[in-house]
Amino acid sequence: MRRLLLFLIKAAVSALLLYLSLRRVNLSTVGQRLSALDLRWIVFVLIMLCVQIGLGALRWRDIVAICGAKLHLSTALRYTFIGQFFSQILPSTVGGDAARIWLLARGGAGWPTAIYSVLIDRVAGVSALAVVVVACLPWTLNLIHDPVARAALAAIGFGALGAALVFLSLGVQHLRIMERWWLTRHLAAASRLAWRLCRSAAGARVAVLSFAIHFVTVSVAWGAAMAAHASIDFVQVLFLVLPVILIATVPISIAGWGVRESAMILAFSYAGLAESDGLIVSILYGITILGVGAIGGMVWIASGYRWSSLKTIEADTHAHGPPA
């Protein structure tokens, strides 16, 4: 019941924000632009999204190794594709992170390693994204002159960095107070593993891979813009799209839908670009990710899993929660 209620709230947020986004633009113009897409750029976008999944699999493999388990690259790639499927196609039942945790745990790594590795992987990705957003702020603020928007950008970037630092601080020392509650106990354990990653040779690889993943995100958004013949260059995409992606990581909607469109339209508007271009880029970005998610569904089926496994994943992840 709780999961259903949470899903309904997220669905309502997505629907409301999508409705408000669509009201801001001329839908007939958007429809005409979408009907005249350059499919060569769509192919480019799909290829780049697959490359991004490969980079994500490499990063996760290194993190799993730090957590004390072994994950072959082919297996990491398969699990990451499947996670993309659950994240995009079935967000109401089993999320992508939960699917990866279940697959890794059932593959022999155990629940603690599976949960910690996915948590650290998520923190690494968001932290790198926040670093890029903050580093680009001087140029982004040259594009956006609205004082409220500028303050929001700074707050989002530095807030995400602050959250990452708080997570890392939990594992600096073995504080007794952190052992009192299961949540703080396991967050501290994951934080200590994150510190081990930072001090290892793998830490540099994870950082490089994380930044490369976000560079691919910019390439995907730029490819979507080129497919729709939008008037925006690569540098503008770099400065405008990554803050939008950071905002969309806040889990208040279904797979970022609605939040991403609203933020993209506002970003383009504040930068003096066409709002319809922002909506089109966001829609194409989301649809192509759905397409790659469908590939993950085929990988799921080809791996021999049945749809009845969905209930098993839900039951197992709910039963284990944070590792004991």
The answer to whether 14 and 92 are in contact (CB under 8 A) is: no
Domain that holds residue 281: 2-17+53-320
**Is position 59 within any domain?**
yes
Dmax over Cα atoms in the chain, in whole Å?
A: 62
Domain for residue 47, yes or no?
no
What pLDDT, on the 0 to 100 scale, is given for residue 177? 66
Please compute, for residue 232, the number of CA atoms within 13 A of its CA located in the half-sphere on the CB side.
34
For residue 130, being part of any structural domain is answered with yes
pLDDT value for 324 = 41
**C-alpha pair distances (Å), 273 with each of 80, 231, 267:** 35, 8, 8
Under the phi-then-psi rule, with left for phi > 0, alpha for psi from -120 to 50, and beta for the rest, what region is 272? left
State the burial class of residue 13 (Cβ atoms within 10 Å of its Cβ: 0-12, 13-18, 19+).
middle
Q: Which residues contact 319 (CB under 8 A, 6 or more apart)?
A: none
Residue 306, Ramachandran bin (φ over 0: left; ψ between -120 and 50: alpha; else beta)? beta
* Cβ atoms of 129 and 212 closer than 8 Å: no
The whole-angstrom distance between residue 41's C-alpha and the CA centroid of its chain comes to 22
Rg (CA), the chain: 20
Question: Is the CB of residue 16 less than 8 Å from the CB of residue 207?
Answer: no
C-alpha dist (Å) from residue 185 to 50, 96, 171, 178: 36, 24, 10, 5
Q: Is residue 125 part of a domain?
A: yes
Q: What is the pLDDT of residue 252?
A: 80
Among candidates 178, 125, 172, 189, which has minimal Cα distance to 322?
Answer: 189
pLDDT of 145 reads: 87
Residue type at position 134: V
Residue type, 186: H
Question: Quick check: is 40 in a domain?
Answer: no
b (16+ CB within 10 A) / e for 138-162: eebeebbeeeebeebbeebbeebbe
| Inside any domain, residue 100 | yes
pLDDT at 126: 95
> Is the residue at 28 inside a domain?
no
pLDDT in tens, the chain (324 residues): 676 787 788 888 888 888 888 888 888 888 888 888 999 999 999 999 999 999 999 999 999 999 999 999 999 999 999 999 988 866 544 578 888 999 999 888 888 999 999 999 999 999 999 999 999 999 999 999 889 999 999 999 999 999 999 998 887 776 666 667 777 788 888 999 999 999 999 999 999 999 999 999 999 999 999 999 998 999 999 999 999 999 988 888 887 888 899 999 999 999 989 999 999 999 999 999 999 999 998 998 888 776 656 666 665 565 565 444
The pTM (predicted TM-score) of the whole model is 0.89
Q: Which of 258, 294, 195 is nearest to 9 (CA)?
A: 258
C-alpha–C-alpha distance, residues 263 and 230, integer Å: 17
Residue 23 lies in a domain: no
Helix (H) or strand (E) holding 84: helix 73-88
